[in-house]
A and B are shown apart, each in its own frame.
Chain A
Amino acid sequence: MGQRVAVVGAGMTRFVRRAQETGKELSWEAARAALDSASLTLADVDAVALGTAPDAFDGVHMKGEYLSDGSGAYGKPFFRTYVGGGTGVFVTIQGWYLVASGMFDVALVVAEEKMSSTMPHAQGAFITIFDSILERPLGPNLLWIFALEMNRYMSVHGLDKRDVAAVSVKNKRNAAGHPAALLGQADITVDDVLNSEVLAWPVQRLDVSPVSDGAVAVVLAAEHVAKRLTDRPVWIDGVGWHLDTAYWTNRDLYYPDYVEYAARMAYDMAGIREPRKEIHVAEPYDPFDYKELHHLEGLLLFDKGKAPEAMRDGVLDRDGDLPSCPSGGLLGVGNPIAAAGLMKIAELFWQLRGEAGDRQVPGDPRRGVAQAWGDLMQVGTVVVMGR
């Protein structure tokens, strides 16, 4: 498949509830940090891929073009992509194409989100995802759709809310040592989550990551360039993406088929036959605590309904058999949507190079998988990375 592609640099801004910086400034900070980490300048970049939210979030039409200068796209081939929450991992796949195709040798991948501008709440833009004729007259709330999915997942498998809430605790604890985290908390307990305000049962306040601002960038390079730049490239071994139907009330929400299909595509490309043995660290998408478990099952790392058991047994802890979201994830670091997905790619880059500092997973991990999910609960995007 064309040129082999490596991640050679990564950078991110702090994730905050409200950044004083504009989206352009956030993009610039992340892009510069990523280039610096690879000892590159913008002159070395051949093409730029940007991932960011729909224009309605920012009230800026053609937001990709608005952000282009901060993303290093001046005078370069540039495109912007968006698949809802799946964007951060999907834009990595887009950047991968640019290089794998042989058209370019170095690509800068940037993901930005500034959700605080929408007033009174980013949901004002979000709820337009519901069908305009049949669903919006009911006065939906974006939380409904997740609550419906969470209830279905928990009820089909007979899950205990404690085991689901434990994911939120793990991630907020994992994020306690993360310099960019908004929600790190070393002393949080499962009872804190269970006692938090009920938003839309079974979703409680601490089951969900809040709206945030931030940006992340990574630099991708073709093999011949990557090997000149670093003796520790992290290879993109496999990519996969898949979409399910938008008739979301016509499918069973208890299992994300689209994640499984995306994962199979990525594993196949990476030559992975037994993901449970060959994946050493996972960064599944966790905007809600149940989503991490749901996605670990879709990634074929656990049987259906068995991820909560793994959570209870400590398998998913940073020092467990399969560390999951050692970054702290969206629940711990924050959830600026597109940026949060790309943060997972950046985290694998740091983990696989042994540069994750306080968050480093023990055991010299060699292979990891990052995944994101979005659109109308229908898109799965997966990247397998290794060294």
Chain B
Amino acid sequence: MARRKLRPVPRSSQAARATEPSRLLGPQPLREQEFRDALGAVDFAVDARYGWDTGIAVGRFLAGLREGRVLARECRGCRRVLVPPRMFCEQCFRPTDRWVQVEDTGRVNTFSICWVSWDMQPLKVPELPAVIEIDGASPGIGIMHKLGEVDPDAVRIGLEVEAVWRPQSEREGSILDIEYFRPRDPKLQSTRGRPARKSTRPRKAASRIK
């Protein structure tokens, strides 16, 4: 059988150009459309949804939020009071010992003034993510949440803040049952850029729960 002669592909073809090394592409603005228009490019979305279990510790924590309480776990090994709570202490590597109720107040450990969305689109009103050290938990033990009812320029590390709860009827056992944290000092509270809403701070409960 005669062997078929292979013909080289002309350089001008798209296939030949596609094999050129990447030196042709320098820093330049890229548009999503260019990806979609590229010859032969395939657009694909992964169809995967997830149903996550809360787990034992966080499940109880969320149930507490629905009742307007912030719950922590205490480890008698290292004597830390932990939020987010966990059923085991990662340092002592033993079970944590009991649930305790901590405050819904705290202080700003660190914060940011964020002007972009996750996909880098500009925001008109900045978001104020923060790590908030929770009063009643061990020093330095905090959670991530957002700040509100405050002028971004007034936020400082160390600022004392309090939770602004959703009305009880709207709570559903979510971290969002706390809408945000705002300054405890009324002079620093500002409603600019935020819907005015009366705080629905729950009454103080006993500091220990069974």
Binding site for B on A (CB under 8 A): 13-14, 16-21, 29, 56, 59, 116, 119-121, 123-124, 127, 131-135, 137-144, 147-149, 151-152, 155, 182-183, 197-203, 213, 245, 247, 249-253
Most buried by A among B22, B55, B119: B22
A20 to B35, CA, bound (A): 10
Q: Is the CB of A148 within 8 A of B131?
A: yes
Most buried by B among A18, A133, A149, A253: A133
A201 to B123, CA, bound (A): 13
Q: Is the CB of B131 within 8 A of A14?
A: no
- Residues on B with C-beta less than 8 A from A116 are 30, 35
Q: Is the CB of A144 within 8 A of B129?
A: yes
A17 touching B27 in the complex, CB below 8 Å, given contacts A135-B175, A252-B140, A253-B110: yes
- Residues on A with C-beta less than 8 A from B18 are 20
* Cβ contacts B140-161/A at 8 Å (1 or 0 each): 1111111000001000010000
A203 to B126, CA, bound (A): 13
Selected interface stretch from B46-54, B96-104, B189-197, B198-206: B46-54
B32 CB–A CB distance under 8 Å: yes
- Residues on B with C-beta less than 8 A from A139 are 118, 127
- CB closest residue in chain B, given A29: B21
- Residues on A with C-beta less than 8 A from B146 are 138
Number of A-B contacts (CB under 8 A): 157
Q: Is the CB of B118 within 8 A of A203?
A: no
- Residues on B with C-beta less than 8 A from A123 are 118-120
Smallest CB separation, A287 vs chain B (Å): 16
A243 to B55, CA, bound (A): 24
Interface size of B as a range: 35 or more
- Residues on A with C-beta less than 8 A from B90 are 245, 247
Q: Is the CB of A133 within 8 A of B119?
A: no
A218 to B88, CA, bound (A): 42
Q: Is the CB of A141 within 8 A of B114?
A: yes
Smallest CB separation, B75 vs chain A (Å): 12
Q: Is the CB of A18 within 8 A of B114?
A: no
Q: Is the CB of A147 within 8 A of B114?
A: yes
Smallest CB separation, B74 vs chain A (Å): 14
- CB closest residue in chain B, given A119: B32
Most buried by B among A14, A18, A59, A144: A144
A148 touching B110 in the complex, CB below 8 Å, given contacts A133-B62, A135-B175, A199-B116: yes
